[in-house]
């Protein structure tokens, strides 16, 4: 019997079903028969198997597996930070965004919060997101862990692994191996990013090194440094700033958000503002090379309109624009869910390309995805 520990929440401020399957985090596994989620998470310097469920809208519950006497108070504090429970989402919606922006007056947040994720894992995960859909990103992240991370144990027939460090990827992986696992051209980017991280961070752990940037660099400088990693453009860099570095006013702009800007906010390109940005970015060589000035002006427009938590506002619009989510299940499936957790129709990606799905679920491949030992070993099809 699993012993769960309770974390109270403001009613309606967090929905596990919606936030864990909206394309933010890719390693949560849904256990349909038990109505709970599981993943591995680093508390301090060590990874553990974590199980979570939500009995009602007033709390979430967690259990740490494989540890005789876990420090539950420490884990609870970590999870409060992970879900950013200090941020009053409903208040922001009603008294900030709806006041600043009439488009929010009829919006619902549905308990979709920005997660405070590990910066290194977020960087690699979003490199995997390039021209990809959520099902395949999920597969890639689980494959990385199973092939190059460290095994932590089993729960409910699923094997669990840590997320590999830059050293582990550099030493255990190769571009050829990653390509064989289905990473395609991203294999080169992941290996290059791991090698650059090992060289740059010196003796600091991966995420600690990335977090240290906030001590002395501006947002523009941090984004420029992220874009120096292979395969990282402005959108991926902004996603890591927002989700991995907790820079709440950063607005990642993909085709979904660009469409919203043009359709609902009548955004038009201003050449004089582009010239101003070119001057502003004169000392940021990577930014000048990679930035799309039109999308960058959309980012700035939304930041000015929505304020200090503009990235959260963007998250609500993005989730509702996409409208569908997907996540891994303990049965070795990809479960499609709407934000209402009712309709299972199609999978959408993080870059605006759609993949129609005829079957209700897709079975895992045998190349590293979590699966029950009794699961059928059919190949994953994208």
On the question of pLDDT at 244 being above 90, the answer is yes
Give the pLDDT score at 328. Answer: 52
pLDDT confidence bin for 357, thresholds 50/70/90: very low
Looking at per-residue pLDDT, the higher value among 46 and 374 belongs to 46
Q: Does residue 38 surpass a pLDDT of 90?
A: yes
- In contact, 290 and 227? CB cutoff 8 Å: yes
Of 136, 159, 164, which is closest to residue 330 (Cα–Cα)? Answer: 159
Q: For the chain, give the percent of residues with pLDDT over 70.
A: 84
Q: Assign 323 a pLDDT band (cuts: 50, 70, 90).
A: low
Mean pLDDT score, 234-240: 97
Task: Supply the range of the domain harboring residue 228.
Answer: 5-356
Residue 87 has pLDDT above 60, yes or no: yes
Strands (DSSP E) found in the chain:
5-8, 29-31, 36-43, 46-56, 59-65, 151-155, 158-161, 324-329, 334-338, 346-348, 354-356
Quote the pLDDT of residue 155: 87
Asked if residue 374 is part of any domain, the answer here is: no
Contact 313, 14 (CB under 8 A): no
Q: Does residue 318 lie in a domain region?
A: yes
- Report the mean per-residue pLDDT for the chain: 86
Tell me, rounded to whole angstroms, the distance of Cα 245 from its chain centroid.
12
- Whether 139 is in a domain gets the answer yes
Number of domains in the chain: 1
Give the pLDDT confidence score for residue 157 in this predicted structure: 87
CA angle 201, 204, 208 (to 5 degrees): 95
Please give the Cα distance from 167 to 3 (Å, whole number): 35
Q: Is residue 371 part of a domain?
A: no
More confident residue, 234 or 131: 234
Contacts of residue 277, Cβ cutoff 8 Å, sequence gap at least 6? 291, 293, 296, 297
Tell me if 28 sits within 8 A of 20, measured CB to CB: yes
Rounded to two decimals, the pTM is: 0.85
Distance set, CA 195 to CA 200, 201, 240 (Å): 9, 10, 19
What is the distance between the alpha carbons of residues 56 and 324, in angstroms, rounded to a whole number? Answer: 22
Q: How far is CA 244 from CA 116, 121, 124, 350, in A?
A: 6, 8, 11, 16
Residue 380 lies in a domain: no
Assigned domain for 361 exists: no
Measure the N-to-C terminal CA separation of the chain; round to a whole number of Å. 37
Average pLDDT on 4-15 reads 96
Residues annotated catalytic, as ranges: 235
Per-residue pLDDT tens digits for 181-222: 999 999 999 999 999 999 999 889 999 999 999 999 999 999
Q: Is residue 382 part of a domain?
A: no
Q: Could you tell me if residue 161 is inside a domain? A: yes
The confidence score (pLDDT) of residue 320 equals 79
In this predicted structure, the answer to whether residue 316 has a pLDDT above a threshold of 60 is yes
């Amino acid at each position: 019997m699993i012993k769960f520990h309770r974390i109270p929440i403001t009613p309606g401020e967090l929905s596990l079903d919606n936030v864990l399957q909206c394309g933010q985090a890719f390693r949560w596994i849904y256990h349909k028969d038990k109505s709970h989620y599981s993943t591995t998470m680093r508390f301090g310097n060590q990874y553990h198997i974590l199980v979570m469920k939500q009995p009602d809208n007033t709390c979430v519950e967690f259990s740490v597996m494989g540890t005789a006497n876990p420090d539950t108070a420490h884990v609870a504090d970590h999870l409060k930070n992970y879900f950013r429970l200090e941020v009053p989402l409903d208040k922001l919606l009603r008294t900030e965004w709806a006041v600043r922006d009439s488009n929010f007056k009829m919006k619902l947040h549905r308990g979709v919060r920005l997660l405070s994720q590990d910066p290194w894992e977020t960087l690699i995960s979003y490199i995997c997101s390039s021209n990809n859909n959520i099902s395949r990103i999920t597969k890639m992240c689980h494959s990385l862990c199973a092939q190059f991370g460290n095994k932590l144990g089993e729960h409910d027939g699923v094997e669990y692994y840590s997320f590999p460090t830059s050293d582990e990827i550099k030493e255990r992986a190769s571009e050829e191996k990653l390509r064989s696992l289905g990473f395609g051209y991203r294999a080169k980017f992941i290996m290059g990013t791991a090698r650059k991280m090992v060289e740059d961070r010196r003796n600091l752990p991966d995420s600690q090194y990335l977090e240290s940037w906030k001590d002395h660099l501006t947002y523009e400088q941090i984004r420029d440094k992220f874009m120096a990693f292979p395969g990282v453009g402005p959108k991926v860099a902004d996603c890591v700033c927002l989700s991995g570095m907790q820079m709440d006013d950063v607005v990642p702009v993909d085709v979904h958000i660009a469409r919203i800007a043009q359709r609902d906010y009548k955004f038009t390109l201003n050449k004089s503002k582009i010239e101003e940005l070119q001057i502003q970015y004169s000392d940021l060589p990577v930014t000048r090379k990679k930035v799309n000035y039109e999308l960058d002006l959309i980012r700035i427009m939304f930041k000015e309109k929505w304020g200090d938590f503009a990235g959260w506002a963007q998250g609500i619009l993005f989730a509702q624009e996409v409208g569908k989510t997907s996540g891994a299940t303990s049965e070795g499936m990809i479960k499609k869910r709407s934000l209402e957790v009712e309709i299972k129709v199609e999978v959408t990606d993080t870059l605006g390309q759609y993949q129609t799905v005829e079957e209700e679920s897709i079975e895992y491949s045998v190349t590293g995805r979590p699966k029950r030992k009794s699961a059928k070993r059919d190949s994953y099809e994208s």
